[in-house]
Structure 1
Amino acid sequence: MNRFKGASAVVLIVAMLTAAIGLAMGAVKAVNGLGFGATVRAQPATRTVRRDADLVPIGHRKQLLVDDYVIANKQNVARVLGKVTKANGGKPIVTDGRFYGTVLYDEGRFKMWYRKHEAGGYNYAESEDGLHFMRGADVEGINFAGDFTMTVSIDPHETDPAHRFKAAYDGPGMRAALAHSGDGIHWTPYNNGQPVTRRAADTCNQILWDPDAQLYRLFTRTDFGDRGGAGEIRGSRSMTSRDVKENIGLPTGKWIHVASVLKDDRVTMYLNGVARTSYTGDSGAGNGQLKVHDANIDFVDANSSFSGFGGEGAGAERWCFYNGLVDEVAVWNVSLTSKQIAALAAGKVTPTKLPKASRPVSYWSFDDGKKVTDRVGDNHSVSIVGAGFSTDTPAVGGAHSLDLSNENDYVTLPSTNYNITTAFTISAWLKVTDCKQRGFFAIKRDCTGVGGDRSGICFGPSSTGDLYTGVISSRGNDAADRANSGNTFHDISTVPTAWNLVREWKFDREGPHEHRRRQIYSCNDWIYNGIHFGILSVYEWPGDHGEGAVDYHKRHQRDVMNFYLGTSRDAAHWDLGWVYALQPLVPRGPDGAFDKDLITPASTIVTHNDRHWLYYGGANERHDILSRQHAIGLATLPLDRFIGLEAKDKPGVVVTKPFRLMGDSLQVNVDARGGRIQVEVLGEGGKGIPGFSGKDAAEYPTVDELRFKPAWKDHQDLSALSGRVLCFRFRLHNARLYAFQVRP
């Protein structure tokens, strides 16, 4: 290494740090006659040459001061939450429905999608003024699963008019599904109506296009505890996809390899040799384990005794049938490795010839086309009901495959002990016709007598278009025995590959039991000027009914829901400070108000006529009081005044990070009705630029403007500085600073 080059690098780094520290820390201040601090500085020891990559990219985008993204230093200021004004005197504006829902401003009018009060489905309404809505046609074409949740977005990225509107809703299995529409009323589901997530989707699901990241974002609820009841712990899930139109279900009409593996209490399913999910179940104690050690596991319905091919039931118990062809089915009582699964999926080896693998405990190849024969085990006593054979086989297959394409065909196998306790592998080739039902294969052990137990596996395509492994652990030969011993069941499904999981989270900053204090009911994303605003519906003191019986007048504090605001730069990690400060963006109403106990926000925020329109659902009783009455309200906020930096009697200073000036004028959103503001321009090293700082920078008292344009002694704008690297220094006294923007 050239030591002179190394020394030069050190000098450059020191110089850059020196300049940055000088900028961030400021200097000794004296008080001038106007009350603001004047700055006394030593001359910088060196001139720093910056690359644009080192600068904060301001450009012409509005900079909202919700975080320190653009701020290098601030003194004697604190962040404050903006104050909303409830419209219509705090009374509801819509009384014939409820949220979850959406309001958008489109084609010169407000458009609202909201849930019907009693009957299933969604209403659509329009308004010219945002207050008085006229109900239109009902929403059509959505295959709601029963919870009836739906939100709508307009896709600015879309080129096909028939897909301009996109919706996220509760699909089959309480899992989020997606749809598109050209008019917002007549909808067509994506992915044949099958969901794109696993459970849950019973709150405010949302899909939207992120123009900066150039991808779609999906937000839904998820589970961290039991599926309902006292043990339920709600969380938030975020996912991304670049092609919302991609069919994410299992391929149909062609041969695919599927496998399910249990190892270390974790079920992993594979499609064509690639792991689609790795899921750890829950024993019911919230510890994320399947609890299979030293116990028999029932992977099918505890009241079923079916084992065989075709689905999850047979005879009087048939209720889930597979539709398609099957070949090369094998079962191991050990877990194969991912490399071994990939080798099977490559189609160059059969289960009995798999290198470095133990022999399967059962293997069916269906080669002779006349009967179903276990080629390695003793599972030979079979009953064929309707099933036939086909000469259509995968490359690795023999002369025939098993044909189960009539939807009512099945093959029963005798109950067999495969000695499965802590591990298994199932491998098969399938040619799926459709996914109307679930499962293609079940094996079961059935021990008779009081105290007997059952164990088995159900695996295959699910009714939601992906892969499924059913898990039930129960003991006892009759219903009473099983109820006394306790049943643990899991429906494990794959996460579609078209949607990538970004994060699942819950409130836990205050420890593992914070769910007793608060839970996230829904987290939606409103993207505005490069900032992700989290629209947070927070369930507070869940299930705490200590404040007494039903009371439609008293404002309660427990088992209630509030509307908070979060912020993020990546849509994954949220600043939740306002939640922990107990400062909702839209407060619940007082005693007797329609929104005194529950507030559920719309999925997005409307910006129109220099105001933000925050629509929300309200209710006059607590979460667990089902007789509560719902309506829809509205609150508004002045443009960009969500979060500000406030200085009170003691003057405050806000200094930006360095940026390259790409415009001629500056607009500032400031409320200094009871105080004043001064804007100085600093050079690259943090020194005031003559003509734009100190006494050359005018002070402005009693200003309250959304687009205030400061000027300087000999300059009405910044055109003389265009192209230079500089910083702004805002001096505040009894004032709030919300945003600034450099304009062309």
Structure 2
Amino acid sequence: MEDVMFRSILVLVLQFVLATTVSGTGVAASPLAVGQRTQLLVDDHVVESRRGLTRRLGRVTKVNGGKPIFRDGIFYGTVLHDGGLFKLWWRKRGKAGYGYSESRDGIHFTKRGDVSGINFAGDFTLSVMIDPHETDPAHRYKASYDAPGMAAGLAYSADGIRFTTYNGGKPVTTRAADTYNFLSWDGDARTYRLFTRTDFAGPGGADEWRGTRMMTNPDPRRHPTRWKTVRNWVFDREGKSERTRRQIYAVTDWIRHGVHFGLLSVYEWPGDFSEGGQDNHKRHERDVMNYYIATSRDADSWDLSWVYSGQPLVPRGPDGAFDKDLLLPASTIVTHAGKHWIYYGGSNERHGGPGFVLKREQAVGLATIGEDRLVGLDATGRGTLLTRPFQLDGRRLLVNANVREGGSVRVGVIDRRGKMLKRFSIDTARPIEDDQPAAVANWKGNPKLSSLGGDVVQLRFEVERATIYSFGIAK
């Protein structure tokens, strides 16, 4: 009887092991869902292991020599690319509402009208989205704004100029403070997300402790007030005293290939006026605002590494620059013509506060970076990367890499038993060289990747003197 029981238990254990691993490799039986989605290497979501590779922030290029590209208005605001046009929503100076302009080149804008139909509370903050989930053309554009009572309001429009408010113009949230309220559609989670600022101490002045909140609602059009708070958070990794070092001023969420990029306006050394009084030429380091990014897979748990390492996505300008002291991101990033267009508001004086009022000039600037090159894995010498297992479905493997002189990227394919396939080995891989945003991986003899269709595989990248940003399987 004991022998039978032992054999039964052994069989169950073996069945469990076989159900959760692949023979000889220990590879998870449930492969990562990849499909044809580009896999960004901003985190280790698709990475099983890596060696000799350092994650680095991409370097943006400021357009127009770092000078403003738009002076008619300021941010908070939005730039979208739609129907062959760059569409810009900008705040009028003096808190007098919002204007709307268009451009074909993304630099020279022409005003097309004034935004109407929105009952701003008085701070005049606005972000606009084109809703990919909406089926009614009358609701194609959706706006988030500061509603009466310093809360978030929502509105809709067919043309992005003439809006009608949801909820009769009444707030759809509790207090949301005076910076961005930002609405987006998360297609993976099948829900809308609303980001607002919240206060963890006094609502203003020296006691203010700025935080942020994210909420979800699957159908705000039908139920504009049914927002479920997922989390409120502040910068407090270093304890409550961190509020004197940095505070979150505004957060918006740009979704790219399933990755949430938090566009963060971070208020650094708030209320520290130790660098002296009014000076519109000298670049300051205290009481300033920087433009950082954070990354997440769920819009809740954020990787804040770039903030804590002091690496902004868009650096503030030098002495005398229009953007030397304050940077405020546009509510989203535009992708067009192989580049990301990163619009931002800049200012040549610090934030200031009660009893320390500063005069500043504000304008809109633009920086660009290669498509999907915000973050990459860099090998100064040689490095390797092994992906998690996934089911291969496609004909081509595309690699986004910048290879420096004397370097290369090679890719090998490993089967579910953990063995390198001879036809697709590192040894037979043709090297990827130079700067290639969409290099097609090839091997000697030109074997067809489609012959592996449906197989569970891993990719092994050997990277030498190069930065690899992403890969993807294409039809």
Displacement of 1:17 = 7.9
How far apart in 2 are the matches of 1:71 and 1:614?
28
What SS does the corresponding residue of 2:114 show, helix, strand or coil?
coil
Structure 2 counterpart of 1:696:
428
Structure 2 counterpart of 1:8:
11
Structure 2 counterpart of 1:163:
139
Structure 2 counterpart of 1:237:
213
Structure 1 counterpart of 2:314:
586
Flag as ranges the 4+ runs of structure 1 deviating above 4 A: 12-19, 45-51
What SS does the corresponding residue of 1:727 show, helix, strand or coil?
strand
Asked if 2 retains the 8 angstrom alpha-carbon contact of 1:220 and 1:236, the reply is yes
1:542-691 pair list within 5 angstroms: 542-624=270-352, 625-649=357-381, 651-674=382-405, 675-691=407-423
Displacement of 1:246 = 2.7
How far apart in 1 are the matches of 2:367 and 2:474?
30
Aligned sequence identity (%): 54
Asked if 2 retains the 8 angstrom alpha-carbon contact of 1:666 and 1:717, the reply is no
Q: Cα distance 1:626–1:9, how it changes in 2: closer, same or farther (>3 A)?
A: farther
1:265-664 pair list within 5 angstroms: 496=225, 498-624=226-352, 625-649=357-381, 651-664=382-395
Asked if 2 retains the 8 angstrom alpha-carbon contact of 1:564 and 1:585, the reply is yes
Q: Cα distance 1:590–1:49, how it changes in 2: closer, same or farther (>3 A)?
A: closer
How far apart in 1 are the matches of 2:24 and 2:8?
18
Q: Cα distance 1:713–1:243, how it changes in 2: closer, same or farther (>3 A)?
A: same
How far apart in 1 are the matches of 2:124 and 2:346?
17
Residue 720 of structure 1, aligned match among 451, 457, 463: 451
Structure 2 counterpart of 1:95:
71
Displacement of 1:49 = 9.1
Residue 711 of structure 1, aligned match among 417, 422, 442: 442
How far apart in 2 are the matches of 1:234 and 1:583?
21
What SS does the corresponding residue of 1:711 show, helix, strand or coil?
coil
Displacement of 1:199 = 1.1
User: CA-to-partner distance for each residue in 1:308-335, whole Å, 9 max, x for gaps?
Assistant: xxxxxxxxxxxxxxxxxxxxxxxxxxxx
Asked if 2 retains the 8 angstrom alpha-carbon contact of 1:15 and 1:46, the reply is no
Greater shift in the superposed pair: 102-111 or 208-217: 208-217
What SS does the corresponding residue of 2:400 show, helix, strand or coil?
strand
What SS does the corresponding residue of 2:64 show, helix, strand or coil?
helix
Larger radius of gyration: 1
**Residues 1:219 and 2:222 are matched in the alignment:** no
Displacement of 1:10 = 2.7
Displacement of 1:715 = 2.5
Asked if 1 retains the 8 angstrom alpha-carbon contact of 2:393 and 2:450, the reply is no
RMSD: 1.7
Asked if 2 retains the 8 angstrom alpha-carbon contact of 1:190 and 1:247, the reply is no
How far apart in 1 are the matches of 2:250 and 2:279?
26
How far apart in 2 are the matches of 1:660 and 1:112?
41
Structure 2 counterpart of 1:128:
104
How far apart in 1 are the matches of 2:85 and 2:129?
15
Displacement of 1:196 = 1.2
How far apart in 1 are the matches of 2:127 and 2:372?
24
What SS does the corresponding residue of 1:162 show, helix, strand or coil?
helix
What SS does the corresponding residue of 1:513 show, helix, strand or coil?
helix
TM-score calculated relative to the size of structure 2: 0.95
User: CA-to-partner distance for each residue in 1:444-478, whole Å, 9 max, x for gaps?
Assistant: xxxxxxxxxxxxxxxxxxxxxxxxxxxxxxxxxxx
TM-score calculated relative to the size of structure 1: 0.61
User: CA-to-partner distance for each residue in 1:589-639, whole Å, 9 max, x for gaps?
Assistant: 011000000000001010000100000000000011441110000000101
Displacement of 1:13 = 5.2
Asked if 2 retains the 8 angstrom alpha-carbon contact of 1:112 and 1:126, the reply is yes
Q: Cα distance 1:545–1:693, how it changes in 2: closer, same or farther (>3 A)?
A: same
User: CA-to-partner distance for each residue in 1:622-676, whole Å, 9 max, x for gaps?
Assistant: 0114411100000001010010001112x10000000111111100000112211
Q: Which runs of 5+ in 2 are unaligned?
A: none
How far apart in 2 are the matches of 1:499 and 1:565?
25
Structure 2 counterpart of 1:111:
87
User: CA-to-partner distance for each residue in 1:174-218, whole Å, 9 max, x for gaps?
Assistant: 101100011000011100001111112310111111111111110
| Residue-pair matches, total | 467
How far apart in 2 are the matches of 1:179 and 1:116?
19
Asked if 2 retains the 8 angstrom alpha-carbon contact of 1:66 and 1:644, the reply is yes
Q: Cα distance 1:154–1:2, how it changes in 2: closer, same or farther (>3 A)?
A: farther
User: CA-to-partner distance for each residue in 1:515-545, whole Å, 9 max, x for gaps?
Assistant: 1100001111011111111101100000100
Asked if 1 retains the 8 angstrom alpha-carbon contact of 2:36 and 2:474, the reply is yes
**Residues 1:175 and 2:151 are matched in the alignment:** yes
What SS does the corresponding residue of 2:207 show, helix, strand or coil?
coil
How far apart in 1 are the matches of 2:446 and 2:12?
39
Q: Cα distance 1:49–1:627, how it changes in 2: closer, same or farther (>3 A)?
A: closer
Asked if 1 retains the 8 angstrom alpha-carbon contact of 2:120 and 2:145, the reply is yes
Displacement of 1:247 = 4.9
How far apart in 2 are the matches of 1:111 and 1:184?
9
Q: Cα distance 1:2–1:159, how it changes in 2: closer, same or farther (>3 A)?
A: farther
How far apart in 2 are the matches of 1:718 and 1:551?
61
